[in-house]
Amino acid sequence: MNPLDSPVPRDRQREMGDTDAARPYGAPPLTHGHLQHGPLSVPSLSAAPPLAPASATNRGPLRVLHILPSLDPRMGGVAEAVVQLVRHMTPFDCASEVVTLDAPDGPAFDRVDAPVHRVGPGRGFYGLSLPLVRWLRANRARFDAFVVHGIWQFHSVAAWFGVIGSRTPLFVFPHGMLDPWFQHTYPKKHLKKRIYWALLEQWVFNRAERVLFTCETELELARRPFLNDRHRLAVNGFGIDSVPDDDEVPAHAFRDAFPEVRNKRVWLFLSRIHEKKGCDLLIDAFADVADRDRDLCLVIAGPGEPALVDRLKGMAASRGIADRIVWTGMLGGVLKWSALRTAEVFVLPSHQENFGIAVVEAMASRTPVIITNKVNIWREIEASGGGWVCDDTRDSVADALRRWALDTTVASREALRDTALACYQRHFRIETAARQLVGSVSLVSSSRKR
């Protein structure tokens, strides 16, 4: 049977009558603030539902399949999200597996503590893969749920094809890919997405038991371009694991690798170097304040397109601060954690950021942050005192850096380190998000078996 034929209406009827599914999220819209705003009242994340007890027909662990394009760490936060969730769902009696469009003979990307099935590569930019569809349909009976991570590529549509004609629950984790920023910034790409949504992607969301979000702000922003009242939305939350102990990460490792930062006040940008990250704002703002203190040093760490990196380096040279910026490339392992601990402050002036794993890693390393109110977790950070929040403009970023450079003292910066760590512990531990996801799957799975 052609998967585009009759099963779709039946799936739709089943969804409309499924009283066990999550109700649409109905929180009031949130408004934006900036650096000068006072403390905000931040809604708490949804409480995790209780885990359903195993029934007589299901005494084994829950079985969850995570579906994403690639586990390549260069792909950004989606791959890291899967690594973290898989690891921390296990203690809640959940056995995960992962399927990707990575090539079987390619790099292993073996950071996942679960079986990984590599059925790629897909064809073209969208990763078209009939082998993925066939694999999902052949294996769906083994799983209590499919969880799709990321959208706008064929893997999400393949998951929909994979569950058509079955009762396998489907969850979708967009990971910020419904943010209206993309609509305004890339109108031509947005037109393509509108077409892709109308033809294919909408069916994935219509079939989904729940559409899951990392925080309240992401959910509210996601309503605007594509979603409507029929879609069942929920805040799942997200976070990271605890960071390595001090004895696992030599404090001097980063300074040994990059002697230019010795005896300097290090300000750290650690992320993908991309236009949306605001690196140009950061360089301009740093140039405005660098002459106030010769010990200030900006570290820009992360992978990026060579043409963009060269343009940013040229910009730094034109502002006369080329010798004040250290470009490290991508950092991982001990060097990454050592850099985070070495930094006086972590700076991410993004125009759009769904969650910001590196932001949370910094706070977990006792490093306060300066971020924009386009990083979706800014409300939790501002309310908890984990860092400062500014607008994504040159003047606002420059003002934040200037105040940090001139108005903070050694003692006040040490106090901010303590509040940054407390913010991580309160809001961004991965165990909470993993339990929430297992609870959601358990609830739906047990209702299907009654």
Q: What is the pLDDT of residues 172-197, one digit of tens each?
A: 999 988 888 777 777 888 888 888 88
Cα(231)–Cα(312) distance, rounded to whole angstroms?
41
Across 349-425, the runs of DSSP E, i.e. the strands, are 369-372, 387-390
Query: 345: closest CA among 275, 394, 286?
Result: 286
pLDDT at 158 (0 to 100): 97
pLDDT, mean over the chain: 85
Under 8 Å between Cβ of 102 and 131: no
| 85 contact partners, CB below 8 Å, separation of at least 6 | 66, 96, 430, 433, 434, 437
Kindly list the domain boundaries of the chain, sorted by start residue.
7-239+429-449, 246-427
Q: Mean pLDDT, to the nearest integer, of 234-249? A: 87
- Secondary structure letter of residue 197 according to DSSP: I
**DSSP-H helix ranges across 208-274:** 216-222, 253-257
Q: C-alpha distances in angstroms, 388 versus 57, 360, 362, 370?
A: 51, 14, 13, 5
Say whether pLDDT at 49 is over 50: no
Say whether pLDDT at 108 is over 80: no
Under 8 Å between Cβ of 238 and 205: no
Stated pTM of the model:
0.74
pLDDT at 322 (0 to 100): 96
Cα(149)–Cα(80) distance, rounded to whole angstroms?
11
Residue 289, both tokens = 């304040």
**Residues above pLDDT 70, as percent of the chain:** 86
Say whether pLDDT at 59 is over 70: no
In this structure, the number of other CB atoms found within 10 A of the CB of residue 1 comes to 8
Cα(82)–Cα(100) distance, rounded to whole angstroms?
11
**DSSP-H helix ranges across 223-305:** 253-257, 279-289
Do 7-239+429-449 and 246-427 come out as alike in CATH topology?
yes
Cα(86)–Cα(93) distance, rounded to whole angstroms?
11
Residue predicted with more confidence, 19 or 53: 53
Confidence of residue 73 (pLDDT cuts 50, 70, 90): confident
Cα(398)–Cα(435) distance, rounded to whole angstroms?
40
pLDDT at 46 (0 to 100): 40
Say whether pLDDT at 161 is over 70: yes
Strands of the 325-329 sheet, one edge to the other:
325-329, 296-301, 265-270, 345-348, 369-372, 387-390
Measure CA 32 to chain center: 20
Cα(156)–Cα(99) distance, rounded to whole angstroms?
12
Query: 341: closest CA among 404, 415, 254?
Result: 254
Q: Under CATH, which number does the domain 246-427 receive?
A: 3.40.50.2000
- Amino acid type, 73: P
Under 8 Å between Cβ of 233 and 211: yes
Under 8 Å between Cβ of 430 and 239: yes
Q: Which residues pair with 210 in a beta bridge?
A: 171
Under 8 Å between Cβ of 359 and 332: no
3-state secondary structure of 363: helix
pLDDT at 16 (0 to 100): 30
Cα(371)–Cα(382) distance, rounded to whole angstroms?
10
At the top level of CATH, which class does the domain 7-239+429-449 belong to? alpha beta
Residue 274, both tokens = 């991309």
**DSSP-H helix ranges across 64-120:** 77-89
Buried/exposed 13-45: b ≥16 CB within 10 Å, e otherwise: eeeeeeeebbeebeeeeeeebbbeeeeeebeeb
Ranking 40-49, 97-106, 123-132, 199-208 by mean pLDDT, the lowest is 40-49
Measured in degrees and rounded to the nearest 5, phi and psi for residue 7 equal -60, -25
Under 8 Å between Cβ of 15 and 206: yes
Query: 214: closest CA among 205, 203, 222?
Result: 222
